[in-house]
Amino acid sequence: MSLATNYLGFRLPHPFIVGSGPLTDDIDMVRQLEDAGAAAFVLRPLYEEDIVEQQISAFFHSESHHDSFAEATSYSPDPQQAPGPDEYLEHLRRVKDAVDVPVFAALDGHSLGGWTSYARLVEHAGADALELNLYHAASDPKTSGAEVERRMLEIVRNVKGVLHIPVAVKLSPLFTAFAHFAEQLDAAGVDGLTLFSRFHRADIDVKELEVVRTFPLSDSSELLLRLRGVAALAGRLRASLAVSGGVHNVLDAVKATMVGAHVVQMVSALVRNGPDHLRTLRCDLEAWLAENEWSSLEKMRGNMGFDRISDPAAYERSHFRMTLQ
């Protein structure tokens, strides 16, 4: 039974990828995950704020014009929180040395600026592809969605323009016309789209008057939003599609493939169950396909995508009405 799939131009033996999270921080864990069959790894991102901080301190070491770096006032990075750029590149090299499967680096940022030049350093350090997290916490009433999208497209074009390795973009689900923006990213040449980022949860401690931030592990209910997102894009774009969020068991992977995903990225399920869960999922997927008379994973891909439907918006509205009634 073939579970093989193409993602970002790589031929992978199956669709299970280790997503960006704590599991790729530790080289022993990375080796265990590869032994258990991980098809590829996505490292945690290097953040724009950390890159800018390093650029600023390099600048201050060589110049004395303290007010002349435009980006200097916009960020308040906490250097304790994440590795700096040099440590990041070193970690990337160590992961690359440790495994034979593709390793994708990640950069996370939202503004136009010098941080995107790090894409080239990441490529030189051996990344097989780059995942760009374009997370923008849009909350300024004066900035339109069109402006946010224009800026993101420009970042993508800048990065695509200097790299030889494939570039995937990890998106948040918060776009008004999500499929249109995805189509523009596709036209800008992105090689893959990862749906979707998961947000931290911000609650309020009403006694202490504090914002309480948490990032709980997911469950399969997180998958549903991703299924809808991928279904809307499958068969319409050149870019390959990854589901990230809520893949825990074999049926989650089957559903993701049916809507058109080429791979599934997992973090929570592997944190909860350990590396061996990858082995289980792979066996379960082979067994499920055989039982349900699919000759390969590729044959099944996209059989539940929106491109089968003549008017997806009308289809969704009619289901919305029927469900509520």
Ligand X SMILES: Cc1cc2nc3c(=O)[nH]c(=O)nc-3n(C[C@H](O)[C@H](O)[C@H](O)COP(=O)(O)O)c2cc1C
Q: Name the 3-class secondary structure at 193.
A: strand
**Identity at 249, one-letter amino acid code:** N
By the rule CB under 6 A, 24 interacts with ligand X:
no
Residues in the chain: 325
Q: What share of the chain is helix, strand, coil (3-state, %, to 5)?
A: 45, 20, 35
- Residue 269 in contact with residue 277, Cβ under 8 Å? yes
Looking at beta carbons only, is 136 or 236 nearer to ligand X?
136
Sign of the Cα torsion 212, 217, 220, 222 reads positive
Among 245, 260, 275, 302, contact with ligand X (rule: CB under 6 A): 245
Segment contacting ligand X by CB under 6 A, of 70-78, 91-99, 174-182, 211-219: 211-219
Q: How far is the CB of 154 from ligand X (least distance, A)?
A: 21
Segment contacting ligand X by CB under 6 A, of 4-12, 16-24, 171-179, 298-306: 16-24
- Residue 252 in contact with residue 220, Cβ under 8 Å? yes
Looking at beta carbons only, is 144 or 213 nearer to ligand X?
213
By the rule CB under 6 A, 268 interacts with ligand X:
yes
For residue 45, how many other CB atoms are within 10 A of its CB?
A: 21
Looking at beta carbons only, is 54 or 268 nearer to ligand X?
268
Q: How far is the CB of 202 from ligand X (least distance, A)?
A: 16
Looking at beta carbons only, is 55 or 268 nearer to ligand X?
268
User: Does the N-terminal peptide bond of residue 196 adopt cis geometry, omega within 30 degrees of 0?
Assistant: yes
By the rule CB under 6 A, 224 interacts with ligand X:
no
CA distance readout (Å), 275 to 54, 99, 100, 261: 35, 15, 17, 22
Binding mask 132-161 for ligand X (x = CB under 6 A): -x----------------------------
Q: How far is the CB of 126 from ligand X (least distance, A)?
A: 20
By the rule CB under 6 A, 21 interacts with ligand X:
yes
Short-list 95, 121, 91, 94, CA closest to 41: 95
From CA 24, how far away is CA 43, in angstroms rounded? 6
38-57 positions binding ligand X, by CB under 6 A = 44-45
The footprint of ligand X (CB under 6 A) covers 19-22, 44-45, 133, 197-198, 215, 217-218, 222, 244-247, 265-269, 271
